[in-house]
Structure 1
């Protein structure tokens, strides 16, 4: 699912009205080494990066 679809649907009504699934809630955590990790609802990290880099879009 593209972020653009969530944004457009969220601006006008409930995204589910347009068949767009709800955006998952992710908890962001900073690691001691300066990294970043994403956790799901139960608090268990499912993806992490020890040396994240800034990206220009």
Structure 2
């Protein structure tokens, strides 16, 4: 299962299953749009390897 790590914004540090993501561009529901870090980056967390998504300007 792919996990997503949120960097910055109201969900900073949260790790969620990628299945909760609505699209490949923006994070799921709520304030603070996130997008996949380009180039892609993987970060190790207690939950396992995660793809890093950051706050969209």
TM bucket normalised to smaller: under 0.3
Instruction: Give the structure-2-normalised TM-score.
Output: 0.23
Instruction: Answer 1 or 2: which has greater helix percent.
Output: 1
Q: Which has the larger radius of gyration?
A: 1
**TM-score, normalised relative to structure 1:** 0.23
Which one scores higher on RCO, CA 8 angstroms, separation ≥ 6?
2
Structure (1 or 2) with the greater strand fraction: 2
